[in-house]
Every structure is written in C-alpha cells, then in structure tokens.
Amino acid sequence: MKIVVSVALALLLVGCSNEDKEEVKKEIVEVAKAPVEKTVEAVKTVSKEAEKAYETSVKKVEEVVAVSVEKVEEVIADVSEKTKKVIADVTSTSNGKEIYTSCKGCHGASGEKVALGKSKVIKGWDTTKITDALNGYKDGTYGGAMKGLMKGQVSKLSDSDIEAVSDYISKF
C-alpha cells in the first residue's frame, strides 16, 4: 500500500498533466478505499461482539446477584427462626409442674378429668403422645372439639415448656 501511494505521489510530482494528476488521485483513493472499508467493517463486527459480550456479562452478574440475595434472605429467615426458638427456650420457665397449674382447672390435679366433658383423660399418656398432641394443638393439626381453646393455651408455650409439661404429665 505504501509503495502504491509513493509511486502515485512521485508521478504527481514529476510533472503529469492536471488530468493525469486527477486520474492518479482517483486511483489512489480507490486503492486506499478497500482496506479502509474492510477496517471499518472489522471494527463494526468487533464492536457488536463486544456489546453482546457485555450484555451477556451483565445478565450473568444480575443472575448471580439474584441468587445471592435469595440465599441471604433464606439465611436471615433461618437465623431469625432459630433466634426466636432460642429466646423462647431461654425465657421459658421449663418447669412442668408450674406450667401444668393452668391445666388443672380442666384436666384435674393429675390429668384424671375429661376436660369440660369433651376431651380425653390425659393421665397415663406417655411423654411422646403428650408432646405430639400439644405441638399439634399449637400448629393446628390436632384436636377435636377443644382444638380452638387448646391452641390458645399452648400457643404461648416454647418447645422446652412443652417438653417439661409433657414429662410432668406423663408421670401421673
């Protein structure tokens, strides 16, 4: 390319007619035009590819951030739930006998009564059966006629309270 341009310039300088000079200029422009056009096309292609790569990168980053935020939210929810349980366990009385005092009115001093004439006698139940029943009342999956009343009673008990009162009742 440089040689062609140099030759063309030399011809211009040597004394060509004006018409020849114009013709040489046109030829120089034509010779130089093709590589320039190829370069422009190559730049456009690379530019488009770079833009696509950028867009893909941005999408990937957005996906990673979304997954990260979701994981952080899950961890926070898990920690929050565990913290609530720990606080409930720490602040609970965990004294089965003391907890049972609020149950005596309906179930009797040693669980021998049919509470309000509608429930089962709980005397003789083992710890697991009592724990399952109390947790069922608490989450609403257990109980018959007294389900609503018992849910209110059990809802304020922590897991350790339920364990303590279940152990206490099982010894009647």
**Digitized pLDDT (tens) for each residue of the chain, 172 residues in all:** 566 666 655 655 555 566 766 776 787 777 778 888 888 888 888 889 989 988 998 899 898 888 888 888 998 888 888 887 777 666 555 689 999 999 999 999 999 999 888 888 999 999 999 999 999 999 999 988 888 899 999 999 988 899 999 999 999 9
Query: How far from chain centre, in Å, is Cα 22?
Result: 72
DSSP 8-state secondary structure symbol assigned to residue 111 = S
The pLDDT of residue 94 is: 66
Do residues 122 and 104 touch, judged by C-beta distance below 8 A?
A: no
Which of 114, 96, 86, 115 has its CA nearest to residue 166?
96
Provide the residue type at 4 as one letter: V
Token pair 């040489």 is found at: 24
Which of 85, 39, 31 has its CA nearest to residue 23?
31
